[in-house]
Each structure stands twice: as structure tokens, then as C-alpha cells.
């Protein structure tokens, strides 16, 4: 396919961890997929004029700004990519969609169901005018997990009965670790539950094609006070969460997320057990998928680097592994392809809302010490 003449101007709002990851994706997506619209890295937006200007050039941006509202008025910006704390997602996304900009929002979609529902409402209206939106669950773009989803959909592990998913980190183990926006409910919404649990819940929905219809849960804050800029502050979110989930397909899911798991740096582990096989994945070995398919007795390790496997064909020769950062490039490519084709990209804001409802159900179950709280049905 020849390269389209049209190009798309992109603005990324936020220049810290996720802003850098998304910036790298916009810089590299053209090399991975030269058949897609050309990307113009138009403007990087942040609150601190000096710092955002310093970040913009090495990340490939033509310019920087501290005013996201003025960016939405620019005719040279077609896509707005939102990488700021959760309490800012709804306001910026709604304004961007109403301004006719295509929008990507980092996960989780919002901090509350009310905010997420408003975002879905506006996204649906914008969609009727050809304006596209997507929530950024980048782990859907790991080749091994995309392949796992294919195996489940093709029935190669039979009827899914059990799932184990854990996402464990240790960056808060030290009680002297300072406060940040991620530890304040007003900015983050929740702690490990929203940050890590949103990925885990999205993977359950993505891999199985099921909805979560029941939750029994517990959350825990192990360190309740941490050093802040003006003295010691209260931590108002969870450090860890556990849940047992029931899916619409009858599968039972064991979920555990923590930012206090000593010696686990970024460990997302998923096991799916079916009537005729199983699958196993570990983010710390993200090019590998352990499979037991079609009634086999023992699992086999697959190195997911072959050109006919999901996403891999545009990169390196077989056996040359991909990394965490490639998932964001794949995400940008899928988004661009949908925009160019006039299709709706996935995961949609509706998918983000569905995850938000499960997060809320887990929070309610933990707060009420309830055996089971059913999430509201997504509209």
C-alpha cells in the first residue's frame, strides 16, 4: 500500500513517564508502519514551561506549550493524546472531542464512573461526526497476549474455567518513599487497584471475551503516611488489592495487584485454564507464551517473534525480541489505521467504562466487607 498524502498533527498532554512512552511511539510508528498516515509531532504540553520545553526536543516535538485549551483550537493538531493524572482525563478528553480532535486517553479512562459515563456519551456523539477515540491499554498490543487471545477465540484451550492474574510491583516497599499524585485519591482515584488492576481487568475481558459479572474483594494500605513536600501526609489510596471475579462465561478469576511486593519490579502474570488446555504469560518475559493446546498433556514454550505472529512482521528477523516500548508503537499504529479507515479503534471508551465499573465494584466490595457486589451493567 502506498503512503497516504494526508498527515496527522499530534499533541501529547503530559511529559512524564507515560508522556515519554507515548512520545517515543509517535516518533517510531512511521518506521514500523510506513503505510499509515504520516505523523507530525506538533506540540508537547505540560504545566512547567521550562521543563516541558526541555523535554520536547529530545522526544521529537516541534514545540511545547503550557496551555492545553489553546492547543485544542489549533488547526494543525488532529490527535490529542492524554497522559496526565486521572482526575484530569474527563475535562481534557471531553473538550478535545468537542473540538473535533481524535483522542487517546491513558488508562484507566477516568477516576469515577460518572466521569467515564460522560466521556462515553461525548465519544459516541463525536463518533457520529467521524471523530475517533480510544483508551490506552497498551498490553493488548503485546504479540504474545494477542496470540493468546487468538488461541482462546479459536477454542484451542476449550471452555475457559479458571484465570489467575497478578500484577505486582515493589516501588512503594520503602516506607520513606515520598508522596506523589498516585497516592492521593483526589488525583489518582485509587492506588494499585486503578493503576495495575485496570490492566488486569482489561486483560480478562480482552483474552476471554467475557464481561465481569461479580466481585468479592479486599484492599489494603500497608503504609498509611509518607513524607510530602509540607511534612508527613496521609496516603488515601490502596497499596494492594485482591479479588475473586466471576465472568459472564462462567469463568472464575483470581486477581491480585500490589505496589508493595518486594523484589517484583513489573510482574504481570496471567494463567488461563480451559477444559482442553492452558496458557501462561509473564510480562517480565514478554516475548514468551507457554501453551498447552488441543488437549496436549504438557505445556510448550513459544518464542513469539515469528513474522506471521501478531505485530511482529514489521520489526526484526525471527528470534530478535521486542520490548515494552514497542507496545505503545503498536497502539499508535492501530489508532492511525482506524482513523485512516474511518473505523472505531479498540479498546473504546465503552471498554474503559466497563473496566471502571469493575474497579468500582471491587472498591465497594472491599469497603463494605461484602461477599459479592455485582458491577453495574455497561450501557
Cβ-Cβ contacts under 8 Å for 322 (sequence gap 6 or more): 143, 286, 287, 305, 311, 312, 315, 316
The DSSP call for residue 221 is -
CB 22 within 8 A of CB 135: no
Mean pLDDT of the 185-193 span: 95
Grid coordinates belonging to 378: 455497561
Lowest-confidence segment of 185-189, 225-229, 373-377 by average pLDDT:
373-377
- The predicted pLDDT at position 6 comes to 81
Confidence band, pLDDT 50/70/90 cuts, at residue 4: very low
Instruction: Please indicate whether residue 377 or residue 23 has the higher confidence score (pLDDT).
Output: 23
CB 22 within 8 A of CB 83: yes
- CATH number attached to the domain at 7-138: 3.40.50.720
SS3 percent helix, strand, coil of the chain, rounded to 5, is 35, 25, 40
Which one, of 130, 120, 142, 64, lies nearest residue 100 by Cα? 130
- The predicted pLDDT at position 373 comes to 52
Residues 237, 234: Cα–Cα separation, whole Å: 9
- The predicted pLDDT at position 268 comes to 98
pLDDT tens digits, 190-229: 999 999 999 999 999 999 999 999 999 999 999 999 999 8
pLDDT tens digits, 82-133: 999 999 999 999 999 999 999 999 999 999 999 999 999 999 999 999 999 9
Q: Flag whether pLDDT at 161 surpasses 60.
A: yes
Mean pLDDT of the 266-278 span: 98
Q: Flag whether pLDDT at 254 surpasses 50.
A: yes
Q: Flag whether pLDDT at 236 surpasses 60.
A: yes
CB 351 within 8 A of CB 134: no
Q: What is the DSSP track for 102-117? A: EEEEESSS-SSHHHHH
Confidence band, pLDDT 50/70/90 cuts, at residue 378: low
- The predicted pLDDT at position 230 comes to 86
CB 169 within 8 A of CB 139: no
Q: Flag whether pLDDT at 262 surpasses 70.
A: yes
Prediction pTM value: 0.94
Class of domain 140-323+348-368: alpha beta
Residue located via cell numbers 520513606 = 176
Q: Flag whether pLDDT at 369 surpasses 90.
A: no
Mean pLDDT of the 332-339 span: 98
State the number of CA atoms in the 13 A half-sphere of 339 facing the CB: 29
For the chain, give every domain's residue range.
7-138, 140-323+348-368
- The predicted pLDDT at position 229 comes to 86
Mean pLDDT of the 273-282 span: 98
pLDDT tens digits, 288-329: 999 999 999 999 999 999 999 999 999 999 999 999 999 999
Amino acid at each position: 500500500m502506498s503512503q497516504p498524502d494526508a498527515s496527522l498533527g499530534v499533541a501529547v498532554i503530559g511529559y512524564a513517564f507515560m508522556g515519554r512512552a507515548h512520545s517515543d511511539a509517535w516518533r517510531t510508528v512511521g518506521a514500523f508502519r510506513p503505510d499509515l498516515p504520516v505523523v507530525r509531532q506538533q506540540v508537547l504540553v505540560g504545566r512547567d514551561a521550562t521543563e516541558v520545553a526541555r523535554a520536547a526536543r529530545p522526544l521529537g516535538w516541534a514545540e511545547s506549550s503550557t496551555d492545553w485549551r489553546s492547543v485544542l483550537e489549533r488547526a494543525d493538531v488532529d490527535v490529542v493524546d492524554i497522559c496526565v493524572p486521572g482526575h484530569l482525563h474527563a475535562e481534557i478528553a471531553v473538550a478535545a472531542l468537542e473540538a473535533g480532535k481524535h483522542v487517546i486517553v491513558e488508562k484507566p479512562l477516568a477516576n469515577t464512573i460518572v466521569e467515564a459515563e460522560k466521556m462515553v456519551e461525548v465519544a459516541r456523539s463525536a463518533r457520529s461526526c467521524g471523530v475517533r477515540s480510544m483508551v490506552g491499554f497498551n498490553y493488548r498490543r503485546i504479540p504474545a497476549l494477542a496470540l493468546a487471545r487468538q488461541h482462546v477465540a479459536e477454542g484451542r484451550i476449550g471452555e475457559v474455567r479458571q484465570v489467575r492474574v497478578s500484577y505486582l510491583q515493589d516501588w512503594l516497599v520503602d516506607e520513606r518513599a515520598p508522596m506523589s499524585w498516585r497516592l492521593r485519591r483526589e488525583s489518582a482515584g485509587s492506588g494499585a487497584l486503578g493503576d495495575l488492576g485496570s490492566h488486569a481487568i482489561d486483560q480478562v475481558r480482552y483474552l476471554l471475551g467475557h464481561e465481569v459479572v461479580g466481585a468479592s474483594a479486599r484492599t489494603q494500605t500497608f503504609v498509611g503516611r509518607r513524607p510530602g513536600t509540607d511534612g508527613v501526609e496521609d496516603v488515601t489510596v490502596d497499596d494492594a488489592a485482591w479479588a475473586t471475579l466471576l465472568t459472564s462465561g462462567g469463568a472464575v478469576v483470581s486477581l491480585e495487584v500490589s505496589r508493595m511486593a518486594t523484589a517484583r519490579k513489573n510482574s504481570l502474570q496471567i494463567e488461563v485454564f480451559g477444559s482442553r488446555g492452558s496458557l501462561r504469560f509473564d510480562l517480565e518475559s514478554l516475548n514468551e507464551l507457554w501453551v498447552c493446546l488441543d488437549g496436549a498433556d504438557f505445556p510448550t514454550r513459544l518464542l513469539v517473534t515469528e513474522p506471521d505472529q501478531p505485530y511482529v512482521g514489521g520489526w526484526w528477523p525471527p528470534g530478535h525480541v521486542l520490548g515494552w516500548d514497542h507496545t505503545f508503537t503498536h497502539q499508535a499504529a492501530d489508532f492511525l489505521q482506524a482513523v485512516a479507515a474511518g473505523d472505531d479503534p479498540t479498546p473504546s471508551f465503552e471498554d474503559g467504562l466497563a473496566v471502571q465499573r469493575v474497579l468500582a465494584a471491587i472498591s465497594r466490595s472491599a469497603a463494605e466487607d461484602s461477599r459479592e457486589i455485582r458491577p453495574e451493567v455497561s450501557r
